[in-house]
Amino acid sequence: MTAVALPVAPLTQERQARIADTLTVLGQELERVRVMGLRVEQTICAIAVRSSIDSALIGELQHLDAVIQQIAALRDFSEQLALQCDERVEVNLAPALERITLAELRGRLAQDDSSTAAEGWEIL
Protein backbone atom coordinates (compact mmCIF):
# COMPACT_ATOMS: atom_id res chain seq x y z
CA MET A 1 0.00 0.00 0.00
CA THR A 2 1.27 3.43 -0.92
CA ALA A 3 -0.04 6.85 0.05
CA VAL A 4 -0.18 9.13 -2.94
CA ALA A 5 -0.23 12.90 -2.82
CA LEU A 6 -2.91 14.16 -5.14
CA PRO A 7 -2.28 17.44 -6.98
CA VAL A 8 -3.54 20.48 -5.14
CA ALA A 9 -4.44 23.72 -6.90
CA PRO A 10 -2.16 26.63 -6.02
CA LEU A 11 -3.48 29.31 -3.69
CA THR A 12 -4.20 32.51 -5.55
CA GLN A 13 -4.80 34.79 -2.59
CA GLU A 14 -3.10 35.62 0.65
CA ARG A 15 -3.91 33.51 3.67
CA GLN A 16 -3.16 35.61 6.76
CA ALA A 17 -2.83 33.84 10.09
CA ARG A 18 -1.40 34.70 13.47
CA ILE A 19 2.11 33.29 13.74
CA ALA A 20 1.36 31.97 17.25
CA ASP A 21 -1.60 29.98 15.91
CA THR A 22 0.48 28.68 13.02
CA LEU A 23 3.23 27.49 15.37
CA THR A 24 0.64 25.81 17.59
CA VAL A 25 -0.84 23.97 14.61
CA LEU A 26 2.65 22.98 13.49
CA GLY A 27 3.28 21.54 16.96
CA GLN A 28 0.05 19.54 16.71
CA GLU A 29 1.08 18.17 13.33
CA LEU A 30 4.48 17.19 14.68
CA GLU A 31 2.72 15.30 17.47
CA ARG A 32 0.60 13.46 14.88
CA VAL A 33 3.79 12.43 13.05
CA ARG A 34 5.43 11.35 16.33
CA VAL A 35 2.46 9.12 17.17
CA MET A 36 2.57 7.56 13.69
CA GLY A 37 6.29 6.92 14.19
CA LEU A 38 5.61 5.22 17.51
CA ARG A 39 3.07 2.95 15.83
CA VAL A 40 5.58 2.03 13.13
CA GLU A 41 8.24 1.37 15.74
CA GLN A 42 5.91 -0.89 17.75
CA THR A 43 4.92 -2.81 14.63
CA ILE A 44 8.53 -3.36 13.58
CA CYS A 45 9.41 -4.53 17.09
CA ALA A 46 6.50 -6.99 17.11
CA ILE A 47 7.53 -8.38 13.72
CA ALA A 48 11.16 -8.61 14.83
CA VAL A 49 10.28 -10.56 17.97
CA ARG A 50 8.06 -13.01 16.07
CA SER A 51 10.62 -13.50 13.30
CA SER A 52 13.67 -13.96 15.53
CA ILE A 53 15.54 -11.25 13.63
CA ASP A 54 19.21 -10.70 14.46
CA SER A 55 19.63 -8.48 17.52
CA ALA A 56 22.10 -6.25 15.65
CA LEU A 57 19.36 -5.43 13.16
CA ILE A 58 16.96 -4.68 16.00
CA GLY A 59 19.59 -2.25 17.29
CA GLU A 60 19.03 -0.24 14.10
CA LEU A 61 15.60 0.62 15.53
CA GLN A 62 17.52 3.06 17.72
CA HIS A 63 17.67 5.32 14.64
CA LEU A 64 13.88 5.31 14.39
CA ASP A 65 13.65 6.04 18.10
CA ALA A 66 16.05 8.98 17.63
CA VAL A 67 13.86 10.34 14.82
CA ILE A 68 10.78 10.08 17.05
CA GLN A 69 12.59 11.90 19.86
CA GLN A 70 13.69 14.66 17.46
CA ILE A 71 10.11 15.10 16.27
CA ALA A 72 9.02 15.47 19.91
CA ALA A 73 11.74 18.07 20.47
CA LEU A 74 10.64 20.03 17.37
CA ARG A 75 7.05 19.85 18.61
CA ASP A 76 8.06 21.27 21.98
CA PHE A 77 10.18 23.96 20.32
CA SER A 78 7.31 25.02 18.06
CA GLU A 79 4.82 25.12 20.93
CA GLN A 80 7.19 27.18 23.10
CA LEU A 81 7.74 29.69 20.30
CA ALA A 82 3.95 29.95 19.92
CA LEU A 83 3.70 30.95 23.58
CA GLN A 84 6.33 33.65 23.13
CA CYS A 85 4.91 35.24 19.96
CA ASP A 86 3.28 38.62 19.88
CA GLU A 87 -0.44 37.95 19.39
CA ARG A 88 -0.67 40.69 16.76
CA VAL A 89 1.98 39.30 14.39
CA GLU A 90 0.53 37.65 11.29
CA VAL A 91 2.11 35.85 8.38
CA ASN A 92 0.92 35.03 4.86
CA LEU A 93 0.66 31.23 4.76
CA ALA A 94 -0.13 30.97 1.03
CA PRO A 95 3.45 30.55 -0.30
CA ALA A 96 4.27 27.91 2.33
CA LEU A 97 0.96 26.10 1.87
CA GLU A 98 1.58 25.77 -1.87
CA ARG A 99 4.50 23.48 -1.02
CA ILE A 100 2.23 21.02 0.84
CA THR A 101 0.85 18.38 -1.53
CA LEU A 102 -1.23 16.37 0.95
CA ALA A 103 -4.66 18.04 0.96
CA GLU A 104 -5.65 17.15 4.54
CA LEU A 105 -2.34 18.33 5.96
CA ARG A 106 -2.51 21.47 3.88
CA GLY A 107 -5.99 22.19 5.22
CA ARG A 108 -4.93 21.69 8.83
CA LEU A 109 -1.88 23.91 8.41
CA ALA A 110 -4.11 26.52 6.77
CA GLN A 111 -6.23 26.31 9.93
CA ASP A 112 -9.21 25.39 7.78
CA ASP A 113 -11.99 24.06 10.02
CA SER A 114 -13.37 21.88 7.22
CA SER A 115 -10.22 19.72 7.26
CA THR A 116 -10.86 18.13 10.67
CA ALA A 117 -12.16 14.89 9.16
CA ALA A 118 -10.04 11.74 9.21
CA GLU A 119 -7.25 11.61 6.68
CA GLY A 120 -8.31 10.11 3.38
CA TRP A 121 -5.31 8.29 1.96
CA GLU A 122 -5.57 6.98 -1.57
CA ILE A 123 -4.31 3.42 -1.49
CA LEU A 124 -2.84 1.98 -4.68
State whether residue 61 is helix, strand or coil. helix
Look at residue 58 and tell me if it is in a domain: yes
Domain that holds residue 76: 16-115
Look at residue 6 and tell me if it is in a domain: no
Tens of pLDDT along 18-66?
999 999 999 999 999 999 999 999 998 888 878 877 777 777 788 999 9
On whether the CB atoms of residues 43 and 123 are closer than 8 A, the answer is: no
**Cβ burial, residue 90 (10 Å; 0-12/13-18/19+):** middle
pTM listed for this prediction:
0.76
Tens of pLDDT along 62-101?
899 999 999 999 999 999 999 999 989 999 999 999 999 9
Look at residue 7 and tell me if it is in a domain: no
Look at residue 4 and tell me if it is in a domain: no
| Count of structural domains, the chain | 1
Number of residues assigned to the chain: 124
